[in-house]
Structure 1
Amino acid sequence: MSVSLLAQNLHGSEIIKIAGEINELKRQGQNIANLTIGDFDSNIYPIPAELKQGIVDAYANNQTNYPPADGVLDLRESVSAFLKSRFDLDYTANQILISGGSRPLIYSTYLALIDPGDKVVFPAPSWNNNHYCDLTNAEAVIIPTRPENNFMPTADEIAPHLKGAAMLALCSPLNPTGTMFTKKDLEEICDLVIAENKTRKAGEKPLYLLYDQIYSQLTFGKHVHYNPVSLRPELKDVTIFVDGASKCFAATGVRVGWGFGPANVINHMKAIVGHMGAWAPKAEQVAMAKYLRQDDFVKGYLAELKGNIQASLNTLYQGFQQLKAEGFNVDAIEPMGAIYLTIKIDYAGKTTPDGTVLKTSADTNFYLIKEAKVAFVPFAAFGTDDNTPWFRVSVGASTLQDVQELLPRIKDALSKLK
């Protein structure tokens, strides 16, 4: 049966393909440490108790009808206050859109701003921008990034590609790397956007900035989250933020995201989200509105969550640095934010005990799944070259003990390669 060109050309999630391999091995009775999905095991990292009770109460109070198209007003006002207290950002309720997680916000941003053939500039690795370009028939302009800069794009790398572009898509802390923009680097990129927009004629579409900060509450140590509008207020009219509760409250299944930006763009996004029916459930919205106002509970929950996530990330980081010191061809970048660690496992060309030559990062990954009972995601799943020896590690579905136990298995598996 014939299907649309879009359906023919759209690629499935590479992460889900890896998950399929893991699930098959689990069905065979094998215990695989799955560090692939950017999610939380809710038995290890439950949502805040006060939020859970608020959701139960909202259902008990029959908050089960359609929510408003742009989200429950009480929640939008709570988000407005949250943005002010956390980032000193001033966005009113009519500049905020609630949706079922952050994906509909990203997709509706593309649909509201991008015409077929428009240029969208984004770095690799990054999450799903290539797929959203496919969905909107955009011209994807992919900026390769370097480990020397923690895989964050720089102004020098971006500058040659902004002329005539419709959107620049950025994320910090970055999925998949767990790394972040420095203040200086983000300021330089902001200045590029401002300079480019000064060249646009009256009535011409500006260069928009999509800024995904869904992990902004999960930062570690000395690392500070920065955003374009705080650094350069003149960007407020062209910046669309993507944010929400999914990651900072381990609430991926609760499906409450919030986007914010210029009211005229948000209004168009509201119509698109409404036609998709991609609303957050009303009971969850009512509960989230109440929870965000309970600042002591929010701070307490974030402190505990960040401490546990950081402990797992640091254990992995230190473990890989120890392997590197012992002569293994591996490396890792210091964890800065999110739930991810960037690791390097450079064993392409090596031969497994059964005589198979590892040719790509995917080969290395599947070898580790079978031999070390651990699964990562190659950066190739995020738009880089298939031969890039770097991987994303996600710790949200693992305990600290899980992480500690997998390191000797990795060492043993790598020792068997010739």
Structure 2
Amino acid sequence: MNTTDLSAFLPDDHHAAMEAAVTPVAAAMRGSMILKIAGEVRALAAKGQAVANFTVGDFRPAQFRVPSELSSGIQRKLKDGHTNYPPADGVPELKAAVARLVRRNWGVEVSADWVCVGSGARPPIYSAWRLFVEPGDRTVSFLPMWNTGYYAHLNGSIHEFVLTKAENDFFPTVEQVREAIRGARLVILNSPLNPTGTMIDPEVLRGIAQALVDENKGRERPCMMIFDQVYWAITAGGRPHSNPCALVPEATPYVVHIDAISKWMCATGLRVGWAILPPYLQVKMKALIGHMGAWAPRPEQLAAAELVDNPEALQAWFVTLNEQVSSRLNALYSGIAALREEGLPVDAIAPQGGIYLSFRVNLIGQGFDTNESIRRWLLDEAGVAVVPFQAFDMPGESGWFRMSIGAVGLDDIHGAVERLGAALRRL
């Protein structure tokens, strides 16, 4: 058969052709800094250099497997022929199981018609933005935080990034939130927090939820909140996760909860997530997700439903997962703390929740001018790959970085700390 090389028909100037073809919104979209760094890590590893990859917010299957009940359940559902389209907002079994999970965990009463399932957490998050935000509306998030800048850009909102402080575990104060949401259409909150590995104090969350209620008194168009809790089950030392509607039930009309099996089942590639929101809003999110075709695969939904609806098996899995995560985070934090006690210019915040550690290298003004120069030095001289907080919209050269333990084992961590110490001592 003769074949035609279609690339011969493309214009010579690809950039000009792209700008002529796509919308201004698409043309202005930035690529992911995290993916760029991941490419550098792969290149060094291909050359045989020892690199501890603390960059990815993912689980390397060689380190973290999904629950056996989930993998066997998916295989069983495939064998049973569950390969057709699911309902646009999720199979009834999963929606009911999620509603029961919410009641068990936080003592708030919701039913299956509050649940809208999507292919991971991102489609429900994007759908929530589309539900509530028009171009020119004001939206608010608190830095550092994952990906809100991209969603604001896609929706054409006037977005306000509010800076937080390390002494507050990188969460906003109640006063900051109360001030920021005046006249805003959407506010985003995430706990446990990506990228910092910290958890919001329950009393602070209570105050924030009450501030949301107060702001909406007398407003024609309410300020809504996206509360992203995809890491809720991964906590240090059994620290409890707090839910805004459990603390302040009056906030319920204004809160969209986001959750997924991606993190607390180590199932990032299986793409099952959901939003929990009032039924009169759920029907509109269902329509959005349906038209995007962003539903989760039927076998994965059904298998996830069985495990979510089995409290004993789910709790046993959480114990195993938290042991795996905590052993890595504690080893990493202890190693950095030992270097700090030695007088080396590093620091970290003790792990609280999620799979991340906030890591600081205090070298700005000591031969280094930017976080990027420190990041590159860490990679080249210590084989330690990290992500600067600028990847999460945080401005300034503060020396703060995210470290993720999803792709590393204890040997990787010990080796990384040893190389880091040696590199710092050479300065």
Q: For this structure pair, what is the TM-score category when the shorter chain's length is used for normalisation?
A: over 0.9
Within 5 A, what are the aligned runs for 1:10-409? 10-200=29-219, 204-221=220-237, 223-351=239-367, 358-409=368-419
Question: In 2, distance between residues paired with 1:246 and 1:89?
Answer: 23
Letter in 1 for 2:376: F
Q: Secondary structure at the match of 2:140?
A: strand
Tell me the equivalent position of 2:11.
Answer: none
Give the Cα separation in 1 of the matches to 2:308 and 2:243: 21
Q: SS where residue 393 of structure 1 aligns? A: strand
TM-score computed with the length of structure 2 as normaliser: 0.93
Over the aligned positions, Cα root-mean-square deviation in angstroms equals: 1.2
Query: Residue type of the partner of 2:411?
Result: Q
Ranges of 4+ aligned residues in structure 1 off by more than 3 Å: none
Quote the Cα distance in structure 2 between the aligned partners of 1:9 and 1:346: 33
How many residues are paired up?
408
Structure 2 CA distance for aligned equivalents of residues 384 and 374 of structure 1: 21
Give SS of 1:221's match: helix
In structure 1, C-alpha distance between the alignment counterparts of 2:60 and 2:409, rounded to whole Å: 9
Q: Distance in 1 between matches of 2:351 and 2:78?
A: 39
Distance in 1, Cα, partners of 2:49 & 2:420:
16
Structure 1 residue 222: Cα displacement: 5.4
Question: Could you tell me how far apart the structure 2 residues matched to 1:149 and 1:223 are?
Answer: 17
Give, in whole Å, the separation in 2 of the partners of 1:29 and 1:323: 26
Alpha-carbon separation, structure 1, partners of 2:281 and 2:135: 18
- Residue 3 of structure 2 is matched in structure 1 by none
* Distance in 1 separating the partners of 2:98 and 2:89: 13
Q: Matched residues in 2 for 1:329 and 1:374: separation?
A: 16
Contact 2:120 2:262 in 1 (8 A): yes
Aligned 8 A contact 1:323 1:411 in 2: yes
- Match of 1:341, as an amino acid? L
Q: Distance in 1 between matches of 2:365 and 2:57?
A: 29
- Deviation of the 1:242 alpha carbon: 0.3
Q: Please say if residues 184 and 223 of structure 2, whose CA atoms lie closer than 8 Å, have aligned partners that are also in contact.
A: yes
Distance 2:357 2:202 in 1: 21
Q: Is the 8 A contact 1:313 1:340 kept in 2?
A: yes
C-alpha contact (below 8 Å) 2:226/2:257 kept by paired residues? yes
1:223 CA displacement: 2.3
Cα separation, partners in 2 of 1:17 and 1:371, compared to 1, 3 Å? same
| TM superposition shift of 1:349 | 3.2
Contact 2:178 2:212 in 1 (8 A): no
Shift of 1:391: 0.8
Which one-letter code corresponds to 2:271 in the other structure?
R
Partner deviation per Cα, 1:338-367 (whole Å, 9 max, x = no partner): 00111111212334xxxxxx3211111111
What percentage of aligned pairs have identical amino acids?
38
Separation in 2 of the partners of 1:132 and 1:155?
24
Aligned equivalents of 1:279 and 1:31: distance in 2? Answer: 40
Structure-2 separation of matches of 1:399 and 1:87:
33
| Post-superposition offset of 1:43 | 1.8
What letter corresponds to residue 349 of structure 1 in structure 2? Answer: G
Q: Where in structure 2 are there 5+ consecutive unaligned residues? A: 1-16
Please state whether the residue corresponding to 1:341 is helix, strand or coil. strand
Matched-pair contact (CA < 8 Å) for 2:210–2:251: no
Q: Which whole-Å CA distance do the structure 1 matches of 2:218 and 2:363 have between them?
A: 47
Q: Secondary structure at the match of 1:259?
A: strand
**SS at 2:264 equivalent:** coil
TM-score (norm 1): 0.95
* 8 A contact 1:380–1:388 mirrored in 2: no
